[in-house]
Amino acid sequence: MRVIIDCDPGNGVPGANVDDGLALALALSAPQISLELITTVAGNTASEVGYRVACDLVSRLGASVPVRRGASRALMEPPEPWRARLDGAVDSYGLRELWRDTPSPATVPKSAPLAPYAMGELICQHPGEITLIAIGPLTNIALALRLFPDMAQAVRRIVIMGGVFHVPGYLKDTNFGLDPEAAHMVLTSGAPITLVPMDVTTRTQMVHADLDRLAAVENPCTRYLAQTLRPWLDYSMKTRGLPGCWIHDALTVAWLLEPGLCDSEQAYLDVALEGVARGMTCRRSALKLDVGVAPPAGAPVQILTTVDNVRLLALLERYLQGGAAP
């Protein structure tokens, strides 16, 4: 299975989510997956920071996968309020100290934002062969669709972690909320899409005992994950009142490896672009949410609806303890 992962990783960055790194490690560890390109986008971390994290992860795991930096901001949404919220939360909670023993990602040379071109070119040169996993805001994918109009038909499937329908406390998720225009463009592109929304990813859970069990078999992959996931687990427990942390992004890769982990349904989806609903995920039948949403376009989207968390954790343990493939 040939794969591109577009992401906003934060492993080793105080206050930044680490589920992208878990997804990347799983993809590198699974022999069924050929991870051919990693691209980074502004989201959970700034694009330059995520690029540094991705390069560091690839180096620490001994892999040889090209990494390309992508968009530094959304198509239209102002970045400043989101960056203040995402980058400043750790200090507002006074929890930066949780990362005191966690190595920071190594510094890397600056890179031009070539990700949209790199992903579009690879997909269009190999029609029907490349699965694109999108686990950050969809800015890079939207830009690639503009650069390569045939990409929606050439991609084998786009698996997206994003969107939220009925999760208490969440009107919209970060990935779609940070760039609603990009989410609208991708969801209505007509490409084959599987959506992994927060409704299902918030049913995942990793606790310290799970991480202890994973780290009991030591290799470069499990060492890296133990170092970078541990502070985030504590942070999630302190700030969200959870017994551990959600592992949103890892489910995208796990589902490709084992589709039976989840049930699914189909619906036409879009993202509201105007008014108080801006950034909210809309099923076309949910008329009360159809604010600033055009008539149905594109194709029905496969939406994951359930997950077996026990099987998910067992899958992670099985693959990650085998070590990352170079």
Q: Domain residues for 142?
A: 2-320
- Residue 323 pLDDT: 57
- Residue 291 pLDDT: 52
Could you tell me if residue 326 is inside a domain? Answer: no
| Contacts (Cβ under 8 Å, ≥6 apart) of 59 | 106
CATH of residue 95's domain is 3.90.245.10
Could you tell me if residue 156 is inside a domain? Answer: yes
- Residue 283 pLDDT: 85
Domain count, the chain: 1
Could you tell me if residue 325 is inside a domain? Answer: no
Could you tell me if residue 169 is inside a domain? Answer: yes
- Tens-digit pLDDT string for the chain (326 aa): 999 999 999 999 999 999 999 999 999 999 999 999 999 999 999 999 999 999 999 999 999 999 999 999 999 999 999 999 999 999 999 999 999 999 999 889 888 899 999 999 999 999 999 999 999 999 999 999 999 999 999 999 999 999 999 999 898 999 999 999 999 999 999 999 999 999 999 999 999 999 999 999 999 999 999 999 999 999 999 999 999 999 999 999 999 999 999 999 999 999 999 988 899 998 875 444 455 555 666 789 999 999 999 999 999 999 999 855 44
